[in-house]
Structure 1
Amino acid sequence: MAQGQFTCRWAALSLSNIASVFLPDLLLPRESSTSIKHELVSVSTTRSASRAADWLRKHKIPDAESVSIYYSWEEMLEKGNFDIVYISTPHPLHYAHVQKALRCKRNVLVEKPATMNRAQFIQLCQLAKERGVVLMEAMWTRYIPATLYFQHELLPRIGEVKRVYAEFSLPIISPDLSLESRFLDKAVGAGSLLDQGVYALTWADLALNGLPSSQDRTQTRVVHAHSIPVPNVQGEVDDINTVILAKLQNNERGSKRSEAVAIVTMSMTLSGSSKIPFYQRLQAKKAAPAVRIEATKASVSIPFPPIRPQELHVQWYGEEHLNENGVETEEVVKMPVERGWGLWYQADIIAEKVASRKGDSQGMGEVIGEEESERVLGWMDRAREMAGIVYKATLEEV
């Protein structure tokens, strides 16, 4: 093992569908020269002992027999011996589960959306800082190499971003889907805005707000939102959603001027076949790019799926890039995920932060990506309000 390598011990609150992807990805073999490696030491579940053990074996969890199985998530948070808890329960439960974890002084990686609304997230951020621990929303797309290349290498060079199209639709709903599915149950937060829109809105945020600026006087707001529900389903589960954002700049007179616009779309019924397995759907080729970012010197397009980008298509049309005939320069930047699905990149980020804070029990806690997560949650709040997407008040309580 490399000198200084940190073994991050994880607990999983829920053996959910996304956990069945995240945990095997997290535990892929590491080179001895890497600074971080991960192991799963505890899980909480409502399954029987035999079913939980079968789940661990089925998903090829290393040393599965040594994983501690708790049948009370509260007990795991209170008594377990681990560094970070991964919370992947339905999003209406995130607020209570994360709150308990933070009160137990646990570092937390919580699936997106982190909470049902911005107000809940703000409360959790404050609690994390008070308790001296690390909180992070599992928006893994932000930490994929292609995304980081876009934000840190391309975005500073493509000029002012003026227009963004961000789309994430996946045919989850089909005629043979059980009406008991969580994708159709508003009591567990069903709806394409929260499930899928969070990804598309994240790309709008990266494009419009990805460059830090100490003198930035702009504000990005939702100016329009429209929703079409899933047909023949009780409870008005939102499906085909359109959200328009405007980036506004405050001038010295106090009025606002539009600087850029983003059109964000999502759906659980469009487009493509819902018959093929879920993860094959995520790898299907689409006729149009999932994201297109148009700036004054170049445009950048990202093929489907936008949640796991692996290449960036750039068309340079600034004066310095045109050939002698005035034709644009085309570039394809390939940035493949190193291994697995790439969910482990975000795990490395929080693990490195936790490792650096070891022994600093008196310090104030931190929230990784706090500003970005809070901004996107605020947009979803406003979009739901404008489009008439309503959940039970109990799911939104702070």
Structure 2
Amino acid sequence: MTRWGILATGFIATRFVEDLRLLPDAEVAAVGSRSPEGAQRFADRHGIARAYGSWAELAADDSLDVVYVATPHAAHHAAATICLQAGRAVLVEKPFTLDRRSGAELIDLARSRDVFLMEAMWMRCNPLLRRVAELVADGAIGQVTTVAADFGAAGPFPPEHRMRARTLGGGALLDLGVYPVGLAHLLLGVPQQVRAFAQLSPEGVDENTGILLGYADGALATLSCGMVGATPLVASVTGTAGRIDLPAPFYRPPYATLHRDGAAPEVLPADLSGWGYQHEAAEVQRCLAAGLRESPLVPQRATLEVLGLLDDIRAQIGVDYA
């Protein structure tokens, strides 16, 4: 049985706890928040035995096998640092941190403490998306020529919303753009060239961003993210011998359609149980049982490479979280 601690009590934490119930070998043992009242309310709602009124108290609970950090991303570094320093294995909600430098600090700390650390990039643990990546790697659609993906939210977000707060890592890129960028990285790796364009808000965060990634073999990724209009949330990967389409939401698609030249389209079904977070939790539990310190599905190298791409994009569009 893997005993989980949940750090934070918001929307994502709620869905994650609900999905942990789908794993017979998972137990939600404790929750921690910045206030005892908030932690206790969450514990009562979800039947959790222990509630702590601080992150440090949760991290100090030696009975826990792993802590899931579900705070807004501006607090990921601080929360994960407390847990790692206490010797806890940690799953950190995506995006891992605000930038590559702080992400590398967490990874260095985990390695120095010899504990497991993984970004909760659930897209990389989704069974159907893993199958798509395998098909692409095996040449099912030939050599990849383009990857296209979009993630735009309708908004509008009021001025006081964290999505518009520059010092909290606001804007579309980290919340939404990490998905299309992460998909392109999963399928094509690190690009040779990055080009980005954006409309910025009065607060100085990106409201509507276009990204073009160019690869050494000639492949392109055309990506977009925004918070000024709901986009289709679809993706496709095209090769010299076919195409794979991912319907909305592409990061957790209900199915995928494989088009091979000269053959009828093939529909690949998905596991639609829960919200989809159970797959990343199961990967964490598998790694802990095997004594691993990082996941082969969500390697720390990939986390840092995507953060580096996001840093590059921000530098080009003029967004600074300092």
Structure 1 position 99, deviation (Å): 2.0
Q: Does 1:340 align with 2:268?
A: no
Structure 1 position 299, deviation (Å): 0.7
Structure 2, unpaired ranges of 5+ = none
SS at match of 1:372: helix
Looking at structure 2, the residues matched to 222 and 385 of structure 1 have their Cα atoms a distance apart, in angstroms, of: 14
Structure 1 position 155, deviation (Å): 3.7
Which letter maps to 1:312?
A
Looking at structure 2, the residues matched to 331 and 390 of structure 1 have their Cα atoms a distance apart, in angstroms, of: 44
SS at match of 1:301: strand
- Residues 336, 28 of structure 1: CA spacing in aligned structure 2 closer, same or farther, 3 A cutoff? closer
Which letter maps to 1:43?
V
| 1:259 paired residue number | 218
| 2:175 paired residue number | 195
Q: Deviation above 6 Å: which 4+ runs of structure 1?
A: none
| 1:135 paired residue number | 117
Looking at structure 1, the residues matched to 100 and 321 of structure 2 have their Cα atoms a distance apart, in angstroms, of: 15
Which letter maps to 1:73?
W
| 1:269 paired residue number | 228
CA deviation string 1:186-242 (max 9, x = no partner): 222111100001111111112213xxxxxxxxx513421011124xxx412211101
The partner residue of 2:287 within 322, 339, 353 is: 353
Structure 1 position 373, deviation (Å): 1.2
CA deviation string 1:288-328 (max 9, x = no partner): x71111111111110011221221112211xxxx2xxxxx5
Q: Does 1:244 align with 2:212?
A: yes
Counting aligned pairs with the same residue, the percent is 29
The partner residue of 1:21 within 15, 25, 30 is: 15
| 2:72 paired residue number | 90
CA contact (8 A) 2:74 2:98 kept: yes
Looking at structure 1, the residues matched to 23 and 123 of structure 2 have their Cα atoms a distance apart, in angstroms, of: 21
CA contact (8 A) 1:241 1:266 kept: yes
CA deviation string 1:328-371 (max 9, x = no partner): 5322211232x2011010001011111222xxxxxx84354212
Looking at structure 2, the residues matched to 75 and 366 of structure 1 have their Cα atoms a distance apart, in angstroms, of: 25
| 2:43 paired residue number | 56
| 2:6 paired residue number | 12
CA contact (8 A) 2:32 2:39 kept: no
| 1:281 paired residue number | none
| 1:39 paired residue number | 27
The partner residue of 1:307 within 245, 251, 263 is: 251
Q: Does 1:208 align with 2:188?
A: yes
CA contact (8 A) 2:7 2:71 kept: yes
SS at match of 1:227: strand
CA contact (8 A) 2:136 2:144 kept: no
Structure 1 position 17, deviation (Å): 1.8
Which letter maps to 2:194?
V
Deviates more, 1:185-194 or 1:91-100: 91-100
Q: Normalised by the size of structure 2, how large is the TM-score? A: 0.92
Looking at structure 1, the residues matched to 106 and 36 of structure 2 have their Cα atoms a distance apart, in angstroms, of: 31
SS at match of 1:158: coil
| 2:303 paired residue number | 373
CA contact (8 A) 2:173 2:225 kept: yes
Q: 1:155-170 residue pairs with structure 2 within 5 A?
A: 155-156=137-138, 157-170=140-153
Q: Does 1:148 align with 2:130?
A: yes
Looking at structure 2, the residues matched to 307 and 158 of structure 1 have their Cα atoms a distance apart, in angstroms, of: 20
CA contact (8 A) 2:36 2:52 kept: no
Structure 1 position 387, deviation (Å): 1.0
| 1:122 paired residue number | 104
- Residues 129, 365 of structure 1: CA spacing in aligned structure 2 closer, same or farther, 3 A cutoff? farther
CA contact (8 A) 1:193 1:380 kept: yes
Looking at structure 1, the residues matched to 195 and 53 of structure 2 have their Cα atoms a distance apart, in angstroms, of: 45
Structure of greater Rg = 1
Looking at structure 2, the residues matched to 197 and 271 of structure 1 have their Cα atoms a distance apart, in angstroms, of: 13
- Residues 97, 346 of structure 1: CA spacing in aligned structure 2 closer, same or farther, 3 A cutoff? same
